[in-house]
Structure 1
Amino acid sequence: MRKLILVLFGLTALNTYADVTQGALQNNPALCAYGHNPNCGGNAGGYTPQVRVEHITIYHPPKFGALALNTKTRHLAGALNKDTLEEAKREAINFCKQGSGDKNCKVIQWSRNGCVAAAEGKLGNKFHLVTGAGKVGEAEREALNGCRNNGAKNCKIVMPEGCSLPQ
């Protein structure tokens, strides 16, 4: 009988020091912040901070720009920050027609979320017009390089860089 009582006291003592969090809840990582949990990594407090990564996509509608040239009068006009390519082309042609007083205007360059520029140089006894398009700071350089690469002399910017960028 004495042995049985000792066994019962022994089992009671073991139960007193048992970890009461054992079971399904102990495997839940959200509970790592609450005291010692042997399933929550190896750092000192047993706490592993949870990092939540969220990806947010922000949509910026594109913007368009265009350059139009009157082939007879050599009048150059442009349009920037338009919502559609068609709108940019139409406005560039309209500005070209208004400025030149003539209907012989056509689109010679356009950009989407970028910049446009034009350079002119002398090729033989004629003037040679070259356009450029690209990122901010690149369109004028592209136009000048294109003018020089075509063999024109005295190339200069005749339409400074204009940009159509999402806002």
Structure 2
Amino acid sequence: MKKLLVVLLGLASLNVYANGCGGEYQPATGTCRIIDSSGRQILYNVGRPQSSNSGYAQNQPSVVNIDVPSTYGAWAVNPKTGISGGALNMSSRALAEKEAIRTCEQGGQNAPCIIGAWVRNGCIAVAQGKTGKKLRTFYAIEDPDMAEPMALRKCQAAGAVQCKITTPEGCSLPKF
């Protein structure tokens, strides 16, 4: 049974490689799904034969663009108190910034807050460290699982000590 499973998995991976799909191949429909840098989903139809002028069938990929709405996130902070707030998965940058300020100001108790960073279709994390007696803030906007390490690297590269994540990674990624 194990040998049969290995053979089937091998054939499935060969099929994906043979179709030249650089993303997620869906054999039931013969399509390949790829996400481009702007967050749009692109489907390549790699498995459907099309007839050519010479009368024989050949596989020619066709491109189908699917617009996937972007999502935005923002992080706001009160520079005097250091208290911060954020927003994720908003439909626009303006809405994300407004919500981040609202959560940061906590009903006016922590006003005024300012936007420290915003993100479109990505992740954000914040680190803090000390340089002398001053507390400094470093943020990173990256792909998933990369924002926290990058924020810490920025903090350390600036010569700060006691660098630590103060706002864990939060992501605003498009939904397919």
Q: Match for 1:110: what amino acid?
A: W
Q: Give TM-score, length-normalised by structure 1.
A: 0.69
Q: What secondary structure, in the 3-state scheme, does the structure 2 residue paired with 1:56 have?
A: strand
Q: Give the drift of 1:51.
A: 2.8
> Which residue, 99, 103, 113 being the options, matches 1:95?
103
Q: Which runs of 4+ in 1 moved over 4 A?
A: none
Alignment of 1:130-149 (within 5 A): 130-149=138-157
| Preserved CA contact (<8 Å) 2:71 2:90 | yes
Structure 2 partner of 1:75: 83
Give distance in 2, aligned partners of 1:164 and 1:86. 14
Alignment of 1:1-167 (within 5 A): 29-30=54-55, 48-98=56-106, 101-167=109-175
Q: Deviations over 1:56-112 (max 9, x none)?
A: 111111010000001121101110000000000000000000077122200001111
Q: Aligned in 2, Cα 1:142/1:100: closer, same or farther, shift over 3 Å?
A: farther
Greater shift in the superposed pair: 97-106 or 74-83: 97-106
| Preserved CA contact (<8 Å) 2:78 2:114 | yes
CA-atom RMSD in angstroms: 1.6
Bigger Cα Rg:
1
Q: Give the drift of 1:52.
A: 4.4
Question: Matched residue pairs, number?
Answer: 123
Q: Which runs of 5+ in 1 are unaligned?
A: 1-27, 31-47
Q: Match for 1:158: what amino acid?
A: T
Structure 2 partner of 1:17: none
Q: Which has the higher helix share?
A: 1
Q: Among the aligned pairs, what percent are the same residue?
A: 41
Q: Match for 1:165: what amino acid?
A: L
Q: Which has the higher strand share?
A: 2
Q: Aligned in 2, Cα 1:153/1:99: closer, same or farther, shift over 3 Å?
A: farther
Q: Give TM-score, length-normalised by structure 2.
A: 0.65
Q: Deviations over 1:5-61 (max 9, x none)?
A: xxxxxxxxxxxxxxxxxxxxxxx644xxxxxxxxxxxxxxxxx43334321111111
